[in-house]
Amino acid sequence: MALAFRGALRSVARRLQVRSYADAPKGDEMALTFAAGNKVFYDKKVVKQIDVPSMSGAFGILPKHVPTLAVLRPGIVTVTENDGKISKIFVSSGTVTVNDDSSVQVLAEEAHPLENLDRSAAQEALSKAQSELNSAGNEKAKAQAAIAVEVAEEIVKAASG
Partner 1 sequence: MVQLKQLSIRLKSVKNIQKITKTMKMVSASKFTKAERELQAARPFGYAPRKFYESSHLVLGPVDLPSGDHKAKKTEKKPPPTEPGSPQTATTDKDKKLKRIYIAMTSDRGLCGGVHTGVARRIKRDFTNRAADGESHKLVCVGDKSRSILRRIYSQSMLVSIKDVGRLSPGFADASVIATVITQAGYPYDMGEIYYNKYYSPVKYELDVVPVFAKEKIETAPNMMAFDGVDAEAIESYAEWTLVALLYYALKEGAASEQSSRMSAMDNATKNADEMIRKLTLLFNRTRQAVITRELIEIISGAAALK
The residues that touch partner 1, with contacts defined as CB under 8 A, are: 6, 9-10, 13-14, 16-17, 33-40, 43-44, 55-56, 66-71, 93-95, 97, 99-101, 103, 105, 107, 109-110
Q: Which is nearer to partner 1, 71 or 160 (CB)?
A: 71
Least distance between partner 1 and beta carbon 160 (Å): 27
Least distance between partner 1 and beta carbon 120 (Å): 25
Q: Which is nearer to partner 1, 17 or 87 (CB)?
A: 17
Around 6, how many Cα atoms within 13 Å sit in the side-chain half-sphere? 3
Cβ atoms within 10 A of the Cβ of 12, count?
10
- Which residue type, as a one-letter code, is found at position 27? G
Least distance between partner 1 and beta carbon 10 (Å): 5
Residue 52's contacts (CB-CB under 8 Å, 6 or more residues apart) are 58, 59, 60, 61, 70, 72, 75, 77, 96, 106
